[in-house]
Structure 1
Amino acid sequence: MVLCFDHREKGNGEVANEQVFIPGILPKIPGWIYYLFGKPIQTHGRGDHILKDREKAVELYLQIKSEVEHSMAYLLKKWEEDPYRSIFNRVVYQVFHSPHRDIPGFKPD
């Protein structure tokens, strides 16, 4: 049995319009990789008791989960706003500007 989860059905905007990619049959056009280093989560001083206290471990887990979800939502928003996310727009920019000039990216808020 094969399970397939398609998150495009629940999504909106450009994510919902993304086409299905079948590896080996259709070439995938390269795109940007968006990443964000979030703020550090302080674990120093919490010691081993956090591993033994289920409630504290769940609290830390939910804090980490919340930070990761916030970062992902932020990056998806920036991805949708990025005028240079398609390879066509990046190539056009490079043609009309110096090849040594970087394509503009977004500045973190």
Structure 2
Amino acid sequence: MAARFGATIVPFGTVGEEDIVELVLDYDDQMKIPVLNDYIRDINRHAIRVREGMSGEVANERHSIPGMLPKIPGRLYYLFGKPIETRGRYELLKDRENANELYLQVKSSVESCMAYLLKKREEDNYRSVFDRTVHKALNSPLHEIPAFEP
């Protein structure tokens, strides 16, 4: 699609906290609580069946809202990769093999960005909101919290 319009593809990677929320109650846990069990069964009984007529695990529609608690926020990491030009390559990319090669190049670039960010996240001394708050409290307002250099 990008080649059709001569667009530049900019690979982009982002890494956040391992989990933004903590799962407290999943479907199975909720079904063990009598009041919730009745409520969930009633909701599922009256719910619209999107997969009606299907069989197997795909047809197993169990609607419930999982119980979640937010986690203390950590840093989010972003990195833009090297732009990939597609201008003038439309005819070349009509060939499935060449298009797949471009796809793999973009995929590899995004994966490299994410791998780099995962490594940097592990090395980050100010990853936790507590560490950043202590740094701010102990230093003057002119001192920025250190960030990593890509």
User: CA distance change for structure 1 residues 25 and 100 in 2, over 3 Å: closer, same or farther?
Assistant: farther
Q: Is the 8 A contact 2:136 2:145 kept in 1?
A: yes
Answering whether residue 69 of structure 2 is matched by residue 29 of structure 1, we say no
Structure 1 residues not aligned, in runs of 5+: 1-14
> Where does residue 73 of structure 1 map in the other structure?
115
- Structure 2 counterparts to residues 1-109 of structure 1, below 5 A: 21-22=22-23, 25-50=68-93, 52-108=94-150
Change (3 A) 1:100 1:27: farther
Alpha-carbon distance change, 59 to 25 in structure 1, aligned in 2, over 3 angstroms: closer
Aligned partner letter, 2:131: N
**Structure 2, gaps ≥5 residues long:** 1-17, 24-65
Q: Distance in 1 between matches of 2:146 and 2:96?
A: 46
Structure holding more strand per residue = 2
Using the size of structure 2 for normalisation, the TM-score is 0.54
The one of the two structures with greater contact order (alpha-carbon pairs below 8 A, sep at least 6) is 2
Q: How many equivalent residue pairs?
A: 92
RMSD between aligned residues: 2.4
SS of 1:26 mapped into structure 2: strand
What are the superposed Cα offsets for residues 8-32 of structure 1, whole Å, 9 maximum, x if unpaired? xxxxxxx6xx797227642321111
Deviation per CA, 1:6-58: give whole Å up to 9, x if none: xxxxxxxxx6xx797227642321111100011101212202441x2110110
Identity of aligned residues (%): 62
Code of the residue aligned with 2:22 in structure 1: it is F
Q: Which structure's CA Rg is the greater one?
A: 2
